[in-house]
Amino acid sequence: MEKLLTEHNLIIEVEKLKKIIKDKVEQRFLEFKKLGEEGDELDLYSELCFCILTANWKAKGGIKAQKLITKVGFAEYPEEQLVSLLKKIGHRFPNTRAKYIIENRWIIGDLKSLIQQHYVNARTFLVDKIKGIGWKESSHFLRNTGVEDVAILDKHILKIMKTYQLIEDFPKPGWNKSSYLKLEKILKDFAEKVKEPVGKLDLYLWYLETNSIDK
């Protein structure tokens, strides 16, 4: 009979990982904070585009896109060129994502001041105003610019939460604010038990599921 895993088992797994990859996690978070503190508007817009591109795709693909398109390309390339480059790396939705990148350029110039606001206000603004950004993607962007207090509830993290009985079942497709914040609170409560902010905990859980520390 298969052993039923519990929250206690997940605490044990995270504590094991902290002994192995804590230095790497801390280094990655320093990179996030450096981007938020020292990155210019184009650096920040590139990261916002990364989060838009990884939605319903994959982080490694988003990283490839950042390298290929460059921060100047995200800010300046015409739509046809963006579509071509996204097709080149095999993006699932090249046309839609290129359109989002073009239509969101108005935010360039305001991103630095936005991420300096309280994360609750910044996240709500991003969800309301930016094309292709929902609760998960806005949390991803803020975490990647150094915000520790947001959870990135993607399929990998939700799978872990269900496996270890933090949640009974997967949420229905299509996040709304209340459902996202409800599950984020559950993960924040767990994060307190392993003495890590939820934004850093994400890196441990991501490693547990994928055996890599991405962003």
Instruction: Say how far residue 51 (Cα) sits from the centre of its chain.
Output: 6
Distance CA 46, CA 41 (A): 9
CB-based burial of residue 204 (10 Å sphere; 0-12 exposed, 13-18 middle, 19+ buried)? buried
Catalytic choice (71, 136, 200, 215): 136
Q: Which residue has the tokens 């390339």?
A: 77
Q: Where are the alpha helices (DSSP H) in 77-173?
A: 79-88, 94-103, 111-115, 119-129, 135-144, 155-163
Annotation says 154 is catalytic: yes
CB-CB contact of 52 with 101 (8 Å): yes
Catalytic choice (16, 19, 154, 172): 154
Annotation says 136 is catalytic: yes
Spell out the residues 6+ positions from residue 130 whose beta carbon is closer than 8 angstroms to its own. 48, 52, 104, 107, 138
Token pair belonging to 144: 């990647």
Distance CA 127, CA 102 (A): 17
Residues with active-site annotation: 136, 154
